[in-house]
Structure 1
Amino acid sequence: MTEPVTDRVWTIPNILSMLRLAGVPLFLWLLLGPEEDLWAAIVLGLSALTDWADGKIARKFGQTSHLGQLLDPAADRLYILSTLLAFVLRGFVPWWFVALLVVRDVSVGIALLILRRHGYEALQVNYLGKAATFCLLYGFPLLLLARAASSLETVTLPLAYAFIVWGAVLYLVAGAHYIRQIAQIVREDTPAVR
């Protein structure tokens, strides 16, 4: 059974998502300014924790809202893209890895614009997309932790790369799945040319 979606703005999940969005500039400053990797990892880890909490609270207390359905994935995308950009600038990941994920986001974004042009709303986030976001938002702080605390590197670095690689694979598969779904919806909506 799907939860009813409200037009409420000031809900706990929405406030958590707003705080997550506000944390992006702080995270980037910590990572690119003073290069405080441990503090950046903490901000990113808190973002991942509040990402989990806002969805849990929304479902448990009936606080699912239209605004939350926009804010939550926007915060996820913004953290993922800003983290990847900062990681490339710091030399943590190769540029082609980031380009691959950016091309995925741009492709899904174009597909969603086509879907809206046909009068449909955005698709619900599927399990693959959630799993990909989970892996990436847990892998990134682990990578920062490995860089910040060399004594933990032997444990955290393999875990970080495992989460990031699995997250990237799932992210690409989820993107292909969204595009396939959108193509099917648009194809069924378009009358056959005779």
Structure 2
Amino acid sequence: MAAGQQVSSRVVTVPNVISLVRLLLVPVFAVLIVEGYDLWALVVLAVSGASDWLDGVLARRLDQVSRLGQMLDPAADRLFILVTLLGLAWRDVVPVWLVVVIVGRDLLLVSLLPWLARHGYGPLPVSFAGKAGTFALLYAFPLLLLAEMPGWLGDAAAVLGWAFTWWGIGLYWVAGLQYVAQTRSLAAAGRDADPAPREETP
């Protein structure tokens, strides 16, 4: 979000509609990947990746940054990553440890929410590292699926796909550790701001 840009409470905005469409594509992709319709699954992944970039651009240019959008966009990203990972693991395209590493990071962030809520904070805004990691993973998955094709195209896709995967994992966990540090700082600031209990006058 640009400096000084207002965050509205509007619900119906162009970026929010795009994020909602991306959410609706999640079960479509799940069916396609499980049933083995790889070409159509790749199309859905490409549309999802493009829409993820588009809704952010439109939110800034149309001045339609909203609180709902700030929650909906990362939620759609994480749900797409989770479903894609599970589908690819189901097909033995990616190993199970990759699912554990990425899902483990998201579970770490979920565990921070009660701490934040206790001190009056909502979910932390998405950091640059978190967004970059998400983009890398969303680029990695279609490439890993394309790597199932025989020949040089599959080989090239495998190299690029795993390169994006490792970058995505690294940035994803860097962002996760940043969120942990921010949560600890906010919790400490909240404790320092609490007034000391006054003694009762006898």
**What TM bracket, shorter-length normalisation?**
over 0.9
Structure 2: distance between partners of 1:145 and 1:127: 28
Q: Is this contact kept in 1: 2:93–2:148, CA < 8 A?
A: no
Task: Give matches, 1:1-194, under 5 Å.
Answer: 1-33=3-35, 35-148=36-149, 150-191=151-192
Cα distance in structure 1, aligned partners of 2:70 and 2:54: 14
Could you tell me how far 1:48 is from its partner in structure 2? Answer: 0.6
Give, in whole Å, the separation in 2 of the partners of 1:2 and 1:154.
46
Counterpart of 1:127, as a letter, is: F
Counting matched residue pairs gives 193
Give CA-to-partner distance per residue, 1:83-118, whole Å, 9 cap, x none.
111111111121122112111111111112211221
2:16 touches 2:72 (CA, 8 Å); kept in 1?
yes
Residues 93 and 145 in structure 2, CA contact (< 8 A), matched pair in contact too: no
For residue 2 of structure 1, report the CA deviation from its aligned partner: 3.4
What TM-score results when the alignment is normalised by the length of structure 2?
0.90
- Of stretches 87-96 and 13-22 in structure 1, the one that deviates more from structure 2 is 87-96
Amino acid corresponding to residue 56 of structure 1 in structure 2: V
Q: In 2, Cα distance between the equivalents of 1:150 and 1:59?
A: 42
- Cα distance in 1 between the residues matched to 2:140 and 2:80: 12
How far the C-alpha of 1:146 sits from its partner, in A, is: 2.2
Residue ranges of structure 1 left out of the alignment (5+ in a row): none
Give the match's secondary structure for 1:84.
helix
Change (3 A) 1:60 1:149: farther
Q: Deviations over 1:100-159 (max 9, x none)?
A: 211111111111221122101222111100110010001111111222464511221111
Identity of aligned residues (%): 46
Q: Is the 8 A contact 2:135 2:168 kept in 1?
A: yes
Q: Residues 68-91 of structure 1: CA distance to partner in whole angstroms, max 9, x if unpaired?
A: 111100100001111111111111
